[in-house]
Every structure is written in C-alpha cells, then in structure tokens.
Amino acid sequence: MNASTKKPGESLSKDERDLSRMVALAGGLGMGATLALSEALHIKDSTFSLQFSVKTVIAFVLGFAVAFAYLSRILAHPERTSRLFIRGGLLIIIFLVLAAFMYPLRFSLDKLMERLEGVAVALCFIAYGLILIRTVVRGAEREEAEQEAKERAGSNNTAPRG
C-alpha cells in the first residue's frame, strides 16, 4: 500500500519504514560524499588532487545531515509534511548540489574569462547532448505510434465479419 492510498494518520508498514530509512541513509551518504569530495578536490594548473581536512569532514556531516533529515521526514510522514517544508528542503538540497559543483571551480580573478569560456562550452555540449536525446526519443515514440496504428488497421481488416 503506498502513501497516497493510506488514510491520514495511518502509519507505514515495517517494510515501508525500512525502505524509507534505507533511501534516506543512501541519500544522506550520497549528498555527504558529494559535498566532501567537492571540498577536498583542488585544481591547480592542469592537475587535480584530493586534500582532506577538517573542512572535508564538516562538508560531509552537513550534506549527510541535511539530506538524511529531509528525506526521513518526507518519506516517513508524507501526509503530515507541509508543502513549504518539502519545497524549502528541496531548494536547500538544490543549492547544496550547485555549491558542490561550483566549489571546485574556485579560482583567482585573473583567469575568469578562461573559466567562463570553459563553462559555456561545457553547457553547450550538455545542451546539444540533451537535444540529441530528445530527438531520438521523439523519433522512437513517433515510430512506435505509427507501428501501433498499422497493427490496429491490420487487425481491423482481418477481423471476421458476421
């Protein structure tokens, strides 16, 4: 039984609670690891290195705590969780993910144009890839619809008349 079919106040089954805990734990570990690795990653000239420090541990604990608390709450008690909490928590997680991706790009201002050009090229590459994927998916959907229409037309023609 999923949460949308339960009556308000009805608790989750033991299996659903266990699954919710596992999802929240995995999400927390993932967010913590993402933030910790982005803090530990240092880029100097053309080399990358991982330099672990106290800040790395703090980043892991922060990411784990935020994601685990948020996911635990919305998965364990979806009917008692306000929309404001759901949206606010989602905005915080999105901010943390963006920070995790942007933090390794910390740099001096003298190379600002080079970095911005690199980011622009990367975004164009990603957009082009998404456009290609969208084109392939739409073509496959169109081809599938045409095939179904042919099958329906063929089955209507071969149906016995009586």
**CA distances in angstroms from 41 to 62, 69, 130, listed in the order given:** 17, 26, 27
Q: Among 106, 134, 154, where does a domain finish? A: 106
Residue 122 confidence (pLDDT)? 86
Cα distance between residue 4 and residue 28, in whole Å: 24
**pTM to 2 decimals?**
0.55
Residue 107 confidence (pLDDT)? 61
Q: Does 92 lie in the same domain as 34?
A: yes
Q: Does 100 lie in the same domain as 116?
A: no
User: Which of 27, 20, 23, 103 has its CA nearest to residue 65?
Assistant: 27
Residue 79 confidence (pLDDT)? 79
Residue 158 confidence (pLDDT)? 66
Q: Does 12 lie in the same domain as 86?
A: yes
Range of the domain at 61: 1-106
Q: Are 25 and 68 in contact (CB under 8 A)?
A: yes
Contacts of 8 (CB under 8 A, 6+ apart): 79, 80
Q: Does 124 lie in the same domain as 90?
A: no
Q: Does 156 lie in the same domain as 88?
A: no
Contacts of 34 (CB under 8 A, 6+ apart): 63, 97, 100
8-state DSSP, 144: H
How many other CB atoms sit within 10 Å of the CB of residue 68?
19
Q: Does 114 lie in the same domain as 91?
A: no
Mark 36-59 as b/e (b = at least 16 C-beta within 10 Å): bbbbbbeeeeeeeeeeeeeebeeb
Per-residue pLDDT of the chain (162 residues; tens, 9 = 90+): 454 555 544 567 788 888 888 988 998 999 899 889 888 887 777 777 888 999 999 999 998 998 898 888 888 877 788 888 888 888 888 888 887 777 766 666 667 777 778 888 988 998 898 899 889 989 888 998 999 898 888 877 765 655
Q: Does 68 lie in the same domain as 31?
A: yes
Q: Does 114 lie in the same domain as 41?
A: no
Q: Does 120 lie in the same domain as 51?
A: no
Task: Indicate the number of domains in the chain.
Answer: 2
Q: Are 62 and 124 in contact (CB under 8 A)?
A: no
